[in-house]
Structure 1
Amino acid sequence: MLQKQATHGYIWAFVAVLAMSNVYIFSKAALNEVHLVQFGFYWFLFGLTWNLVFALKTCKLSTFRNLRKKQLIILMLIGILEISGTTLFFTGISTIENPSVASFLANMTPVFVTILGVFVLSERFNRIEVLGMILTVGGAFIISYRGSQSMQQLFLPGSEFIVASSLIFAFSTIVVKKNVLKLPPALLSLNRVIFLFIFSLAMLPVFNQSLHVSTSALINMGIGSVLGPFLAVLASYNALRYIEAARASILGSSKGLFVLVGAYLYFNNIPEKIQIIGGIITIAGVLMVTFGKMKLNRKKVGK
């Protein structure tokens, strides 16, 4: 039974990786044509549609009526964190030329999750995890460092947005992990996209943006919204129900390689060699953090 649950978890985690890898590609293609606020409106409008259809099919909407006050507060907290993290994330995607670079930088999230786990969940980390965190941070530094003497041009423009979003997503991951057994993944996914759509809708008049966009941008946002706000998020939450976040991170760390191939095929764009090296280092770092955490968990079980 446990083996079957673990298999389900790994399948969901792999689906999340493939879906999220394509999010980088299709969101970048759309953001090359539209304003960030226009993008958010259509991206999450489509995402809300897919999530509502799925929730209706699986009868998950009924759970809204049975939510307790504490659960509503948790959903609001997750929604606010997702608004902040997602806004920074797509700002970074829009700013950084190659989406695979952004994907490599996003490998900072497991490092932040590990660090926050110490303070929030009273977890501990071992030497392997520490070395992995150093490698990941070092890889991120290599990717974003430009070598300019000016502080304003010291790092790759947009890298700060991805790193900041990784920190916020780490907070969100901790909150979700603590409550994923109490709140169904479909509900968590729907809650996230509702908050993001309402926020995007409210920002349209603030930035004086219209709803007029090109057909190609609309197609990219339509495809990407199936993969991102719906499939990737739903798959990630389902994976956390069956396997540890650390194990899901093993597959998650590889998404940069998928994005690298996708960026070449879709944009005919390859990062600089030093950025690819930095990306591989971040993947190695995430794997070390993950295996270190798994080793620590095995010791706890053995006691």
Structure 2
Amino acid sequence: MAVFKTEEWKGYVFALAGTIAFSSLYVFSKAGLNQVELAQFGFYYFGLGFLLNLIFVLASGKFRQFPGISKNVIGLLVVLGVIDILSNITFFMAIRAIPDPSITSFLGNLFPVFMTLLAISFLKERFSMIEAVGALMAIGGAFIISYSGELDWRKFFIPGTGFVVMNTFLAALVSIIVKKNVQKASPEVFNLNSNGWIFLFFLGYFIWSGQSVVIPAKAFQNIALGAFFGSFVALLSFFYSYRYITASRSSIIQSLKGIFVLAIAYFYLDKFPLAVQLWGGGITIAGVLVMTMAQAGFINVGKKRK
């Protein structure tokens, strides 16, 4: 029977809070992107996210950590900033391209698959046969969800699938880098760095696009809610969870986001996926749960391999 180690429960609480918050981001960002252009959305979303994190860092006194950051960590933050920009661009392009945010979320279950592969490569974590089976289930479910019904390879997958694949790989890469270096800087520093770089990019994109600064009030409301839950609550919660539990155990909780997105999208946007997409989504969730629970030691089947 699994027993919580000292303060380990905090990691699960942070992971659950981050998962619910991130689930709402899918819905609020989809609602916002239905009303404004990507340049306008990014300007307001990341501007608000950066402002929220900056206020939190100043109010909590975490800004005192900045003068002590080494040159190596500064270089790390720059690299993370570049990856974060690419990750977020592909994420919101997927949100805009795929009509139902729950489908985007189900496809996002490729994230733990990439995270496992990267953890094996960079964190020297081990894997077993049951984890490989779980990964194959997740990939198979994603294939079912994304299949368009066409045999023409140019139309084989639904629009936006490629963006999700790129986003999940880049997001997994960021998580592994943060996990490997989580003791070198606080979660607040990582989060402010992420929002800062992305905001600068979208500020430049917004100016270049020539879009109007005026947007509908409802769009601003959706963007503000998405920024609060996505750029602030979710990311901070995930970073904090890595301080108390392993990346694989945090992923167990994060893999459930599809269920939360499904419920929120239904009540807020009146969206519900097709039966075959639900089956595919269920398979991806089951696969990720098998894989991550095996990694976390809750399922002991098969010998671990290096």
1:268 to 267, 270, 273: 270
Please tell me whether the aligned partners of residues 105 and 257 of structure 2 are also in contact (alpha carbons under 8 angstroms): yes
Q: Number of aligned pairs?
A: 299
**Identical columns (%):** 40
Question: Does the alignment pair 1:243 with 2:248?
Answer: no
Distance in 2 (alpha carbons) for counterparts of 1:208 and 1:106? 32
| CA-to-aligned-CA distance 1:150-204 (integer Å, 9 cap, x gap) | 2221101011101110001111111000011221011111111001100100111
Q: Which residue of 1 aligns with 2:164?
A: 162
Name whichever of 120-129 and 108-117 sits farther off.
Answer: 120-129
TM-score, reference length from structure 2: 0.94
Distance in 2 (alpha carbons) for counterparts of 1:54 and 1:10? 22
- 1:54-203 maps to which residues of 2 (within 5 A)? 54-203=56-205
Deviation (angstroms), 1:3: 3.0
Structure 2 gap segments, 5+ residues each: none
Please tell me whether the aligned partners of residues 293 and 299 of structure 2 are also in contact (alpha carbons under 8 angstroms): no
Structure 1 gap segments, 5+ residues each: none
Deviation (angstroms), 1:122: 2.8
Distance in 2 (alpha carbons) for counterparts of 1:295 and 1:63? 35
| CA-to-aligned-CA distance 1:76-121 (integer Å, 9 cap, x gap) | 1111111001100010001100000000111101100111122222
- Amino acid aligned to 1:252: Q
Distance in 2 (alpha carbons) for counterparts of 1:212 and 1:56? 29
Task: Give the number of the structure whose residues are more often helix, by fraction.
Answer: 1
Please tell me whether the aligned partners of residues 23 and 228 of structure 1 are also in contact (alpha carbons under 8 angstroms): yes
What is the CA RMSD across the aligned residues, in angstroms?
Answer: 1.7
SS in structure 1 of the partner of residue 239 of structure 2: helix
Distance in 1 (alpha carbons) for counterparts of 2:293 and 2:220? 41
Distance in 2 (alpha carbons) for counterparts of 1:144 and 1:12? 30
Deviation (angstroms), 1:149: 2.2
Q: Which residue of 2 aligns with 1:21?
A: 23
Please tell me whether the aligned partners of residues 41 and 197 of structure 1 are also in contact (alpha carbons under 8 angstroms): yes
Distance in 1 (alpha carbons) for counterparts of 2:251 and 2:119? 14
| CA-to-aligned-CA distance 1:117-157 (integer Å, 9 cap, x gap) | 22222333110110011000000000000121222211010
149 and 245 in structure 1: CA distance in 2 versus 1, 3 angstrom threshold: same
Distance in 2 (alpha carbons) for counterparts of 1:250 and 1:258? 14
297 and 63 in structure 1: CA distance in 2 versus 1, 3 angstrom threshold: farther
Name whichever of 55-64 and 118-127 sits farther off.
Answer: 118-127
Q: Which residue of 2 aligns with 1:50?
A: 52
TM-score, reference length from structure 1: 0.95
Please tell me whether the aligned partners of residues 130 and 289 of structure 1 are also in contact (alpha carbons under 8 angstroms): yes
Distance in 1 (alpha carbons) for counterparts of 2:252 and 2:121? 23
Please tell me whether the aligned partners of residues 30 and 220 of structure 1 are also in contact (alpha carbons under 8 angstroms): yes
Distance in 2 (alpha carbons) for counterparts of 1:197 and 1:149? 40
Please tell me whether the aligned partners of residues 38 and 204 of structure 1 are also in contact (alpha carbons under 8 angstroms): yes
Name whichever of 206-215 and 180-189 sits farther off.
Answer: 206-215
SS in structure 1 of the partner of residue 272 of structure 2: coil
